Structure 1
């Protein structure tokens, strides 16, 4: 810890911090004249009036204050309204404590599942390590087999506040709270009617967004009860890549073309795909394209050779296929939301309560038509299509194959039949499209009350959540049917009885009886409607997840200490999670030209109990206005991971009224989720791998040689060839399976925060100023991850690590294609072995005051700035591997801040928000792969400015108008061929704004 504190001191004195101040200070000062509080208040600034006993995020102990020993930020309903967001994710991501989201509208178009999902990720440690709660209780996951909550289910306008607790909190809330907690708090005891409608779109006229919301609340039974109901609808129509000039055409990064770092971000195009609709046909198995056949894209005539080149020096294919025309920048999302909550006082000391949420989310995706190869249809025999069919001892040539191809074709695969290979964009099948509907139900019922003259509060509740997802996709091909349809012969005997003896029919009589129609891949538009209907392979994806939680809690004070009443909280919880994922039969078998993916079923249950104490040792003493210590411990017994323990310790010292020092230490845990435990083995075909045994002889070779010779197949190969020898099919024939591991155990994280809260109340002019500074440090061990395959090879053969060697499967005997000892599979199942660590510093400053001193009556201004500097954010696939640093890279900027200010005068409220992302770098491994320094390429800093003006015509009616990205900043060019490119967007769309300047307007009515 001393070393860490020293690092902070050294960092503050560094020249780059001086430079940063020179950049940030004028911007912050300008925003102090011009900006809005995205976070309306920190917990230090909460209202001071008596609120009775409450429970604040970060502690289970009921208290009359909302102070917290751990860093806690509170976003209130006014700040949410002032942001004009459709999904609360948009607002949370402005906070520099949040990292790049795993899922959002702008990075999920290419996913087979998860399209349109919105998640959050504190500290860039992964969404699975951020616990999301509603009213302090768990929420069903929105992604199959994971606890990751889809924020589309959160009714933004029904929120009273959002609490963001940074730092480990597993001892209080259970598994997953490694990086922190985001707690969405619904409105309470609301009376009246509140409605709003909003519409907006970008300056370019796309991504139309509109929403309508209605909240109704009333007291019942003479004030003994209250019931609230909320209805919401929103629609974000999305943006296609072809709707923007900069993303209309396939391009490629200039650095990847020239090797000059100065060309990074320079668009080189058109850089069209070689998978064209007219197809490319290989007749002799050679890697060159000069002897391949294709069709002229203009005349349709067959020709030998491939595409003509594009602009000089670009090395692109001008006759290829423009994939960008079919890609997506932001997927559309439509939401229907219903939320309700209520309480009823049964007796003076007992209340019954309930809350419920229903969300229906619809999303869709579109990407380019499938790029099909003959290897997808005929994976055996070198992926070649037989040109001839043996009919009663006679070889009959497929009549759909052009004569030029027939004349040039050879028997490449050695089966006695001439063959050909092809690659082709199957545009006749249409673009690959998917439509997804998610239905989430969640309800909570329970009792709460007080005991012993209100010294203790208690509650007991049942929480049920259900998430069902139905996804249907098109644009794939049925491999079995395509295989039959590519084996065509002339209908010389008129077997179909239509009188035409020149047409082609499927060679297999059984296939013909099932509707087989021959496929003609030669030339664009050559596939007939009948063949298309026969070979089409639609797919489906269904998810059914449930969560049940029964919990009971009690909190109160046991006795008095010199500093006040000693607080205690305790509770027990039982939770059961279940997840089922089912795919169509073709996908299960890998027969839609994709990899085989099995269904998944899994469940677990856990019973856990916790105790928390808070001990105010001293108060109202010289140099000890407050000295308080506390801690918590939780023991959980999982049906899968066994017994796990988490705990924390906290200390708060307030030497004077104006300064409060705080520190926390936490041991947090994350138990493996259903996907990590029970995912079946899904097939994949990795590329770019080198067998470490290549060239190994009977002796020598160091560690790699010793490990290689332990394998009987390798020894047989060496005996036959003198050294271990591989053929091209051996090199290209490496497969693998990804999957879960039922033997996983929990991740453990040690984290601590050290901070100060400065509120100079003794200085009248500054009594409304609050400054917080917190250093955080989190290290996660036994991280659950699938190791990269290249790393697996290195660990096995260079480090002789048996854990990784067991993931490598070699062929023990050779066959017609592959050699003995060649690698058949390198599997990548989940294991507990990686390490994650991050540390940094958070600084916030808030200030609010009236403007009477300036002669402006009935006016006030409030300002806030939140800044985060990341020292480290590192990942290592094992404890013996070097760390891969990501701090400072794109998506994990070293410096981020959000500055806000709100001006109010009478019915007018005007607010501004500025968000800064510092200069960021390409991935260090990307640079080093080209022999360059780790920080060889950078993109400049970005600053986004938003504003909204509200005017209350009356107490009942208010209208507002807002502009996002007021400066109309373009996202930096992060193009295809680079590490952080999001396909279809020409940038890191999950980091930078891809919409440009956009406008919205709306009205609010309250009665």
Structure 2
């Protein structure tokens, strides 16, 4: 305990208290000395960004604080959803994404993360944001599809949270790997007097999408014991893409023409030199003497397609609309238990015990899985060499279709099998225990703690609606070899021609499992070393041992290469690390001209990894209080991120990227010549078989850690002339400049950009790993991870908080938080080329808006309180798909040739309102009603986004979300 002037309390305490009263949101934690002589005794505490416990909460680091009341005021029921709304957050995964195994596996080996919600600070990715709970690491997520390096924030029940501290600064010197973009420290509730319960019901104005949540908590205290228990339930229903006109078609404005080339009828691709060309003249030879014949079946005679009468040339009008099978909002159900107890075993020693269990059930849905054979349309490795025997009773051609001699591709989408459904069942278990204490040596106080954490996140994914390609090959092969249980397959008929018996033979239920484990031991000590003229020289030091283990085990049929879906192989790996750190806070000046106080902080951490060796990272910071009203602060920090288990050991897999092949109908002489050199016989008449091009992904054992340098500089201004006046009780301004540079960034090149550069230059540095088959279509595309190059980003954060006096109509408050992204650039070291993602651009279902702002106006008067929040995102530009502009897709800035250009996504503002009433009864009973997106603003149309016609990582769902809530404490 320390004796301090009351007026020297941190403004953090003042601001957070006011926030809880007025319901403000995301308050920047900044402090100033106030005037006065009153004294009080304050307990030393630890704030995110420093390991030194001290009574003055404000330091050198920019911190945003969100309280439990703030979380509740959003009407959202997940920590991740709340954090994604912050202006400092970038695009990241959430439950509005309907991407499961229908696209495949991203390059980082982390899997798809279906059903998870992650947060990306500074637009640098969720893997570069460290998540702590009460200062200790939380286990990474798994959804049955890989070994992820990101944390699903919804595995931490929001009803157990007291506050969240967000450090928007590099912090590897204090916390180790992953803290390049910043740190999210979730502080849980330690105690509660009595019991409380709450229930909320919400509904979207489109589709279903109802949500129901509730929690029951109990707590208490004695002279030696504090405890808190919480049980919570959350249930979110799905919304079909078909319920919103914009997502009813694959690409807005293009209608069915933006659909898939895998259709419910048979699509067959031949060369005209094949003998089958003699039938019906369906494959005319062009001037070059070589052209693809792309024909489609559209009729049946006794279950067998007549050829050529039942076939016609494939056109865009034949494309399949997969969009109505997708989900606009995915179902998500979570049940959680959280509890912790703290027992004072001696006057200066406390033992704590903490446990959490969360079960999540979620699902994604996709259109019926297509079957593809041959080099032009294959959907699996075995499908590449699978044909149709002449003895198959449904083969209309009378000859064997052999992918090695007479046909290039055969595709069919069996709608009879229904949609693909990817269901996740994920368990998260977390256990922590430790001792905390203090002691006095001479006249100085010291604080210590030792901690142990054991946590597991295990996900199981079950896939319905997928097929066994080995069974398909047998069912299409010689009839003599298709004996029971084999059933000959009619791949040539239209919808309804595949019988239940056929489906039963070629179908199977896929079961995949992934798991992440975390075990840590930590020990810390802090206190004052010696008294200097300007104050005490304080220190913190500590040790951490951490072991992380991860595994991904796909279904045995997938491992055997017999799955018709996306192939993958098992992944397993682990690493351990020993770390040591030291932090010093050095007071330099006090109560002199232009320096009411000046302090310097120094921190260094050494990390020794079993995977790559040792690294040391340092940080320097200053806090210069020029006057009672004005403080300047800044930091310079080194950082690093070790390659994750998935990035190092991820087994080869596949991602079906939506890519436009530049050789498709290419008439530019230079580009056409490059296409010919790369295996496209006649680019002018070349037709890309499918808009999805399969890329090879997987880990890279040769990866080295990323390194970073972060600079922040800012001022905090709390003018005394605006304090306790007739128009303001408090007014605070915060301005921070930030800059982050990352070297050896672990990333895969953008596949579209790489292919464009390959065709434009014909250089090996771009073309290595891209292989075309005899049809000219790409059959192999290596898109593995590497230490790609450099990321350079910078910008400004602006915060304003105003709290009014008590007027006759109540009290008003205003909180504003703005982030301006000035630069974001990724440059590959080997080519010097920039990746496409930058400020103001929409690409690959993510974006970096130039401006993001959130402003809240609060009012309270007795038992009533209300709040209005506005969330602004500046406009974006995206590249139009040239193939779709020809058929009328939305494209606001077409080029002169009408074959491409850019599309503008306009600036968007969403408005939320909430009203609370505390009933006049003998216990604490509050009723709440709220509406998010009051004016039912639709997100802007995105023509490059993979699903649903908008960017789910940046914008709200269309329509209003209305909710009512009741809470009681007794």
TM-score by length of structure 2 reads 0.83
Cα 1:739–1:54 change in 2 (3 A) is same
Deviating more after overlay: 611-620 vs 598-607: 611-620
Q: The residue matched to 1:512 in structure 2 has which SS?
A: coil
Residues 203, 998 of structure 1: 8 Å contact kept = yes
Correspondence for 2:158: 156
1:456 CA displacement? 0.7
Question: Aligned pair in 2 of structure 1 residues 685, 992: CA closer, same or farther (>3 Å)?
Answer: closer
Aligned equivalent of 1:911, options 861, 864, 867: 867
Q: 1:342 to 1:126 in 2, by over 3 A?
A: same
Give the superposition deviation at 1:689: 7.0
Is 1:758 aligned to 2:748, yes or no?
A: no
Alpha-carbon separation, structure 1, partners of 2:295 and 2:769: 38
Range with greater deviation from structure 2 (421-430 or 109-118):
109-118
Contact 2:269 2:294 in 1 (8 A): no
Larger radius of gyration: 1
Matched residue SS, 2:89: coil
Q: Is residue 2:959 matched to residue 1:996?
A: yes
Contact 2:340 2:354 in 1 (8 A): yes
Deviation at 1:272, TM superposition (A): 4.7
Equivalent in the alignment of 1:399: 393
For 2:548 and 2:894, how far apart are their aligned partners in 1?
A: 43
Shift of 1:321: 3.2
Q: 1:105 Cα deviation (Å)?
A: 3.0
Question: SS of the residue aligned with 1:385?
Answer: coil
Show the counterpart of 2:227: 227
Offset at residue 151 of structure 1 (A)? 1.3
Judge which range, 792-801 or 573-582, deviates more: 792-801
Q: Secondary structure at the match of 1:937?
A: strand
1: CA distance, partners of 2:796 / 2:871: 17
1:954-982 CA deviation, whole Å, 9 max, x = no partner? 442111001100111111122xxx33x24
Q: 519-528 or 468-477: which moved more?
A: 519-528
Residue in 2 that maps onto 1:951: 917
Q: Does 1:448 align with 2:436?
A: yes
Establish whether residue 772 from structure 1 lines up as the match of residue 734 from structure 2: yes
Shift of 1:728: 8.8
Cα distance between partner residues in 2 of 1:216 and 1:949: 26
Q: Is 1:786 the equivalent of 2:788?
A: no
Which runs of structure 2 are paired with 1:937-976 in the superposition (5 Å)?
Answer: 937-953=903-919, 954=921, 955-974=923-942
Kindly provide the CA deviation profile for residues 700-736 of structure 1, in whole angstroms up to 9, marking residues without a partner as x: x9xxx9xx9xxxxxxxxxxxx9x99776999999986
What is the CA-CA distance between 1:412 and the residue it aligns to?
6.8
Q: Secondary structure at the match of 1:148?
A: coil
Q: CA deviation at 1:652?
A: 0.9
Q: CA deviation at 1:739?
A: 2.1
Measured in 1, the distance between the counterparts of 2:320 and 2:687 equals: 29
| Matches of 2:301 and 2:172, distance apart in 1 | 61
Task: Give the direction of change, closer, same or farther, for the CA distance of 1:885–1:585 in structure 2 (3 Å limit).
Answer: closer
| Residues 411/894 of structure 1: CA separation in 2 closer, same or farther (3 Å cut) | closer
Greater CA deviation, 54-63 or 678-687?
Answer: 678-687
Whether 1:741 and 2:714 are equivalent positions in the alignment is no
Structure 2 counterpart of 1:136: 135
Shift of 1:193: 0.8
The answer to whether the aligner puts 1:849 opposite 2:819 as a matched pair is no
More off after superposition, 593-602 vs 51-60:
593-602
Q: Are residues 170 and 642 of structure 1, via their aligned partners in 2, closer, same or farther at CA, if it must alter by over 3 Å?
A: same
CA shift, 1:363, in A, is: 0.2
The equivalent of 2:108 in structure 1 is none
Question: What CA distance in whole angstroms lies between the structure 1 residues aligned with 2:930 and 2:756?
Answer: 54
Distance in 2, Cα, partners of 1:914 & 1:653? 34
2:720 alignment partner, SS class = coil
Work out which of the residue numbers 871, 886, 892 in structure 1 matches 2:838. Answer: 886
- SS of alignment partner, residue 455 of structure 1: strand
Q: Residue 913 of structure 2 contacts residue 934 of structure 2 at CA under 8 Å; is this kept in 1?
A: yes
Separation in 2, partners of 1:228, 1:378 = 52
Larger mean CA deviation between 649-658 and 536-545 belongs to 536-545
RMSD of aligned alpha carbons: 3.8
The alpha-carbon deviation at position 350 of structure 1 amounts to: 1.0
1:62 to 30, 53, 59: 53
Say whether the 8 Å CA contact 1:50–1:64 is kept in structure 2: no
Find the aligned partners of 1:561 and 1:378 in 2 and give their Cα distance: 71
C-alpha distance in 2 between matches for 1:381 and 1:430: 21
1:900 aligns with 2:851: no
- Please give the per-residue CA displacement for 1:401-445, whole angstroms capped at 9, x wherever unaligned: 3xxx336x6877576xx8795321111221111110000000110
User: Which of 768-777 and 103-112 deviates more?
Assistant: 103-112
1:611 to 576, 582, 595: 582
CA distance in 1, matches of 2:950, 2:936: 16
Gaps of 5+ in 2: 1-18, 105-111, 271-275, 278-282, 284-290, 664-669, 883-890
In the TM superposition, residue 916 of structure 1 has moved relative to its aligned partner by 0.7
Change over 3 Å in CA distance of 1:724–1:516 after alignment to 2:
closer
For 1:163-190, what per-residue CA distance to the aligned partner results, in whole angstroms no more than 9, with x for missing partners? 0110101111110000001111101232
Secondary structure of the equivalent of 2:470? Answer: helix
| TM, length-normalised to structure 1 | 0.80
**For the structure 1 residues 986 and 339, does the alpha-carbon distance in structure 2 shift closer, same or farther, using more than 3 Å as the test?**
same
User: Secondary structure, in 3 states, of the residue corresponding to 2:31?
Assistant: helix
Alpha-carbon distance in structure 1 between the residues aligned to 2:234 and 2:401: 59
SS in 2 for 1:124: coil
CA drift of 1:243 comes to: 2.4
Q: Out of 620, 625, 629, which is 2:596 matched to?
A: 625
**1:797 and 1:533, CA in 2 relative to 1: closer, same or farther beyond 3 A?**
closer
Identify if the C-alpha distance between structure 1 residues 486 and 930 changes in structure 2 by more than 3 Å, giving closer, same or farther: farther
Asked whether the 8 Å contact 2:294–2:313 carries over to 1, the reply is no
Describe the shift of the 1:913–1:288 C-alpha distance in structure 2 as closer, same or farther (beyond 3 A): same
1:383, distance to aligned residue in structure 2 (A):
5.6
Report the CA distance shift for 1:298/1:436 in structure 2 as closer, same or farther (over 3 A).
farther
Change (3 A) 1:931 1:412: farther
1:107–1:323 CA distance, 2 compared to 1 (3 A):
closer
What is residue 716 of structure 1 aligned with on the other side?
A: none
Which residues in structure 2 correspond to 1:121-520 (within 5 Å)? 121-143=120-142, 144-204=146-206, 206-220=208-222, 223-247=223-247, 249-254=248-253, 268-269=255-256, 272-281=259-268, 284=276, 286=283, 292-295=296-299, 304=309, 316-317=316-317, 320-375=319-374, 376=378, 385-388=387-390, 397-401=391-395, 405-406=396-397, 422-452=410-440, 455-487=445-477, 506-508=479-481, 511-520=482-491
Unaligned runs of 5+ in 1: 1-31, 255-266, 310-314, 389-396, 489-505, 692-700, 709-720
In structure 2, distance between residues paired with 1:336 and 1:348: 37
Q: Is the 8 A contact 1:46 1:66 kept in 2?
A: no
Choose 290-299 or 611-620, whichever is displaced more.
290-299
| Counterpart-to-counterpart distance in 2, 1:288 and 1:725 | 14
Contact 1:384 1:420 in 2 (8 A): no
Distance verdict in 2 for CA 1:430–1:736, change over 3 Å: closer
For 2:716 and 2:626, locate their aligned partners in 1 and report how far apart those are by CA, in whole Å: 11
Question: Is this contact kept in 2: 1:36–1:913, CA < 8 A?
Answer: no
Distance verdict in 2 for CA 1:728–1:59, change over 3 Å: same
Of the candidates 589, 607, 611, which is equivalent to residue 636 of structure 1?
607
1:473 is paired with a residue of what secondary structure?
A: strand
Alpha-carbon displacement from aligned partner over 1:286-324 (angstroms, at most 9, x marks no partner) = 566686432289999867476799xxxxx852x653312
1:194-227 per-residue CA deviation (whole Å, 9 max, x = no partner) reads: 110000101235210010111111124xx20111
Does the 8 A contact of 1:44 with 1:770 survive in 2? no
Q: 2:303, 2:493 within 8 Å by CA — same for their partners in 1?
A: no
